[in-house]
Amino acid sequence: MGYTISLVNPNAAVEVVKRLGISTPPLGLGYLAAALREKGFGVQIIDDLVEKLSFEKLAERLKNSEIVGITSTTATFNSALRYAKMIKEKLGALVIMGGVHVTFRPFDALRHDFVDAVCMGEGEETIVEVAGRVEAGKSLDGVEGVIYRDKGKIVDNGPRGFIEDLDSLPFPAFDLMPLEKYSLLGQKLEQFPMITSRGCPFACRYCSSSLFLGRRFRARSAKNVVDEMEWLAEDFGAKHIGFGDDTFTFNRKRVFEICDEIKKRGLDVEWSCSSRVDTINEEMLRKMREAGCSVIYYGVESANEEILNKYYRKRIKLDAVKRAIEITKKVGIETVCSFIIGAPHETKKDMKETLKFAIKLNPDYAQFSILTPYPGTEIYEEAKEKGLILTENFDEYTAGKPVLKNIYMTPEEISKLLKHCYLRFYLRPSFIWKEIRKGRLKVVFEILKRAMRGRSDD
């Protein structure tokens, strides 16, 4: 097919790749490509985060493209702009940018004349309509979800409504991705990402997800979810599937239906998910374990209930956290807990209490990050208003570097404390002995080595 739309994931110093050597397929681009292909458009995905092409090779791959879509997060936004500039100058294709950052800050992109348009929010229906207009030689006037440049003027077509029937979306186009290049700590990719729902009813102040995908929980049916799991196992050899939903366990009835469907089909695939500590109980967890759930990721964030609930607006109790970890372990599911340090009014003592709490909870693994005020979030808007933003260089917005003022500690002290959290948690003799028994000590030291090496480069 001669007419080509190219979707590009730019190469950038992405924290999780740099620190931990983890690279996984870009699910968002997979969905866009599948939606385009279903409507008969020729489409390719270039994931330059793992392909790392020279610009000459990139230009060669893009030469027949009439549209180039570039995705970005806040941390990869500057890199995405560099790609847009090179592509516009060399190829003259229509350049459209999408992703969380430009949804909230479209004019960060559109102030550059090498960006023709921005896609805001969910992109599957929008990109198909854009492709149809371009193919027909028509303007983008009236295409909802798009802000575009028309003869030097910026035209805002307004937002597009959310996709109601998620079952109507084709499965992501993993076959268009360089699957051999993805890895987990140097090991071949056998873990595939998947989304079974969109939208988050909770409104944590540090998170942009509920703003990007809406506060209303929209879910795929159990049959559709397990159809994709089966497809990933049979066609791509998936041994583990990571559900990337904000709160997989939000709708208990649907969780039970998915578990029943997995068991009914005899599907032998492990899976993991994210949950809130106040959306689970022992019965649900047992059901999930029986259906192959091996890991649950819980956002704990802080041991200080004032920071946790007044500042972050997480709305959970520390007792509920303890109980959730206990019963998750009891049923045989591993736990990963995330913790945040560096809120503006958080003292060093508060941060150390969070580390102590992490050690006392003793999840299987812990992730520590520095509070990062992503554009679009309440915390960003408030910090901007109060002059607490240290830099607007979005390359620094990796959650591993301080970009927010703290009134008690310097950025250097917070960076040092983050390193201390990782060392203190992962170098405990009890933790090391547990990993030796599981035969996973090498993996843990690889994580620690990469994390520490990366942080010393900051």
Per-residue pLDDT for 16 more than 50?
Answer: no
User: Can you name the residues that pair with 71 across neighbouring β-strands?
Assistant: 98
Q: Give the position of tokens 């993993």.
A: 174
Per the structure block, which two tokens stand in for 57?
């090779």
Per the document, the length of the chain is 458
User: Can you name the residues that pair with 44 across neighbouring β-strands?
Assistant: 6
Of 362 and 443, the structure prediction assigns the larger pLDDT to 362
**Helix, strand, or coil (residue 219):** strand
Mean local confidence (pLDDT), 152-162: 95
pTM of the model: 0.93
Mean local confidence (pLDDT), 357-373: 96
- pLDDT tens profile 95-135: 999 999 999 999 999 999 999 999 999 999 999 999 999 99
Whether the CB-CB separation of 418 and 370 falls below 8 Å is answered with yes
Per-residue pLDDT for 238 more than 60?
Answer: yes
Q: In this structure, how many other beta carbons lie within 10 angstroms of the beta carbon of residue 283?
A: 12
Of 320-324, 399-403, 407-411, 435-439, which gets the smallest average pLDDT? Answer: 435-439
Per the structure block, which two tokens stand in for 199?
């939208």
For the chain, give the mean pLDDT: 92
Of 144-148, 213-217, 322-326, 345-349, which gets the smallest average pLDDT? Answer: 213-217
- Residue 152's pLDDT is 86
